[in-house]
């Protein structure tokens, strides 16, 4: 796309609108996947609810670290909130949002550079800082849109199966998953801005996410190492169990701070890197 076309087209006058426009097909398919996932888990709920006694016996037979990591603090599994916390929000929902956000963050600058379209983008009267900021805002908008789809789909498809959690607290759980995904998406953006390599951005961020998750799940079983859990973003995502207790403002601020730090590193590294190298 030439800079002349970029300047003339109303939809492409900002990098933000261009990137959001380019995401529309991916967001459509991601939305279909999220709706299908919500419907699948909702359809399983009646069998869990109707076999509460059997499920509770099974839960009590699980190792303590497993109950602590994947169930609510009360060990509840058969209530709507407990079921969603265990099946959707302990792993699957944040994972899906993170995959999207990390991919979008890695593609934002590094993807443009590898496709050799970054030079065209920077030939327009738009600063590097503006490009990186708009890419971050597009990443935020896409992740937020998918989070809204997740909230609406659980609320809509859950009702016929009596999977009816408190909608405000469901929103808190979705918001927490969004903030976690945004934090890791900003890390991918920062690595991409610093290196210009999309694969490296995805790999490094995925490794950080994997180690963070294992630290949050496994470290509490070792009392002397429990303090390490506070270094994991996943701790600030799930420790308060938002679907039961609502969003913890301090935990939300920590995740926002990680996202802001990622953006700051992105701006600093992208402005200073020699793109001709």
Domain boundaries, the chain: 3-272
pTM of the model: 0.89
Per-residue pLDDT, 2: 42
Residue 192 in contact with residue 111, Cβ under 8 Å?
A: yes
Per-residue pLDDT, 163: 94
The token duo for 149 is 């789809």
146-186: pLDDT as tens digits: 999 999 999 999 999 999 999 999 999 999 999 999 999 99
Per-residue pLDDT, 11: 39
Per-residue pLDDT, 10: 44
Query: In a structure prediction context, what are the per-residue pLDDT tens digits for the chain, which is 277 residues long?
Result: 444 444 444 434 578 888 888 899 999 999 999 999 999 999 999 998 888 777 777 766 666 656 666 665 656 788 899 899 888 998 889 999 999 999 999 999 999 999 888 888 887 788 899 999 999 999 999 999 999 999 999 999 999 999 999 999 999 999 999 999 999 999 999 999 999 999 999 999 999 999 999 988 888 777 777 778 889 999 999 888 999 999 999 999 999 999 999 999 999 999 998 876 5
């Amino acid at each position: 796309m030439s800079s002349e076309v970029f300047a003339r087209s109303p939809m492409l006058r900002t990098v933000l609108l261009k990137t959001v426009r380019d995401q529309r097909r991916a967001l459509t398919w991601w939305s279909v996947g999220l709706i299908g996932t919500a419907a699948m888990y909702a359809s399983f709920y009646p069998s869990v609810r109707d076999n509460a006694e059997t499920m509770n016996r099974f839960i009590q037979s699980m190792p303590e670290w497993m109950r602590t990591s994947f169930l609510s603090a009360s060990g509840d599994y058969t209530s709507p909130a407990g079921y969603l916390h265990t099946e959707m929000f302990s792993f699957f929902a944040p994972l899906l949002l993170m995959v999207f956000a990390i991919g979008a963050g890695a593609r934002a600058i590094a993807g443009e550079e590898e496709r050799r379209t970054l030079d065209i983008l920077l030939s327009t009267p738009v600063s590097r800082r503006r490009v990186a900021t708009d890419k971050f805002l597009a990443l935020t908008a896409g992740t937020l849109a998918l989070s809204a789809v997740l909230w609406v789909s659980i609320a809509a498809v859950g009702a016929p199966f009596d999977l009816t959690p408190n909608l405000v607290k469901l929103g808190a759980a979705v918001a927490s998953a969004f903030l976690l995904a945004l934090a890791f998406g900003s890390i991918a953006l920062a690595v991409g801005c610093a290196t210009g390599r999309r694969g490296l951005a995805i790999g490094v961020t995925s490794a950080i996410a994997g180690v963070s998750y294992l630290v949050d799940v496994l470290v509490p079983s070792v009392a002397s190492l429990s303090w390490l859990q506070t270094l994991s973003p996943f701790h600030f995502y799930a420790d308060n169990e938002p679907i039961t207790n609502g969003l913890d403002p301090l935990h939300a601020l920590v995740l926002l701070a990680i996202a802001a730090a990622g953006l700051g590193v992105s701006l600093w590294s992208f402005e200073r890197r020699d793109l001709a190298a």
